[in-house]
Amino acid sequence: MIDAAMLFHLLAEQLSWRVLPRVPEPELITQDLAQIAAFEAAGREDGVLAFTYFFHALHIMPVVRPGDRVLDLACGPANQLAQMARLNPEARFVGLDASANMLDRARATLARCAIGNVELVAGDMTRLTDLEDAVFDCVTCTMSLHHLPDLAALAGAMREVRRVLKPDGGLYIVDFGRFRRTSTQRYFAQVHRDAQSAQFTQDYLHSLRAAFSVDELTAAAALLGPGYVRHLTMLVPLMVVFKSHDRRALDAASQRLARNLYGEMTKTQQRAFRGLARWFRGAGYAVPCMLA
């Protein structure tokens, strides 16, 4: 995954002392049908994001126990949620999103994938007013925090996560970290431009510009309370993960599900997955099971 061009940007990031300002997303709630279609296409089984979704779904598995009720915040078109639900068939998932059009696309995704253990609801992750205290065994949120408008909204979302999560519940939160250089942002947005739509490339760049810094994410995660570990991609924070302790060991059936899903990926996707796994493993964050 790390070629010469990428290595240049990683090293340049290390040498830069500049702090880029955060540029919030042009639209905080995605309702545009073209944007939603581009995002959903990138996350489908044959999409450019499929390996990333599998990576996160794999790491979420030890956090979710059979019978758990899991809240997935800002589920979008449900590509990530569908993978999580497939790998945890005995858990029940609630996918929440503030965009009605995203939820429409999510329903289509779940129907296409024949997923039956997911419920979809409309809601704002910063104000979970329809949810009672300590009602979920796990909470997940993947690559969505950068859609929040500011630090106050980020802190509000973390307080709500802590409120609705049961004591000692499972947690998996991941988002982009903000780079120090605009050229690094452009590089990562465009590196797979031949395999993704122009709309998605533009939206990816907006997402990287809207990312919170590692320090901002870490300060917000402190509101969750103790018991969570932070993991970053090696050298630069393309992704920043906050994960609770494992709540179960993966049994033979769970590992077989993971291997089957990995086996359904193309060779190109498998290579990309292994590259991402090595990038995280270089910082001490290893995948939870053997896939081959």
* Per-residue confidence (pLDDT) for residue 19, from 0 to 100: 83
| CA distance linking residue 240 with residue 74, whole number of Å | 17
Provide the pLDDT confidence category of residue 93 given band limits of 50, 70 and 90. very high
Q: Is the pLDDT of residue 267 over 70?
A: yes
Provide the pLDDT confidence category of residue 113 given band limits of 50, 70 and 90. very high
Q: Is the pLDDT of residue 265 over 70?
A: yes
Q: Is the pLDDT of residue 1 over 70?
A: no
Contact between 42 and 266 (Cβ < 8 Å) = no
Say whether pTM exceeds 0.75.
yes
Q: CA angle 233-71-277, nearest 5°?
A: 20
Determine the straight-line distance between the first and last CA of the chain, rounded to whole angstroms. 19
Provide the pLDDT confidence category of residue 31 given band limits of 50, 70 and 90. confident
Mean of all residue pLDDT scores within the chain: 95
Mean pLDDT of 238-247: 96
Q: Is the pLDDT of residue 121 over 90?
A: yes
Q: Which residue has the higher pLDDT, 96 or 29?
A: 96
Q: Which of 125, 142, 137 is nearest to 56 (CA)?
A: 142
* Per-residue confidence (pLDDT) for residue 4, from 0 to 100: 85
- Other C-beta atoms closer than 10 Å to the C-beta of 100 total 10
Domains of the chain (ranges, CATH numbers): 26-179+212-281 (3.40.50.150)
Q: How far is CA 58 from CA 76, 84, 112, 150, in A?
A: 19, 8, 21, 30
Q: pLDDT (tens digit, 9 = 90+) per residue, 140-189?
A: 999 999 999 999 999 999 999 999 999 999 999 999 999 999 999 999 99
Question: 137: which 2 tokens?
Answer: 């065994």
* Per-residue confidence (pLDDT) for residue 28, from 0 to 100: 73
Provide the pLDDT confidence category of residue 45 given band limits of 50, 70 and 90. very high
Provide the pLDDT confidence category of residue 273 given band limits of 50, 70 and 90. very high
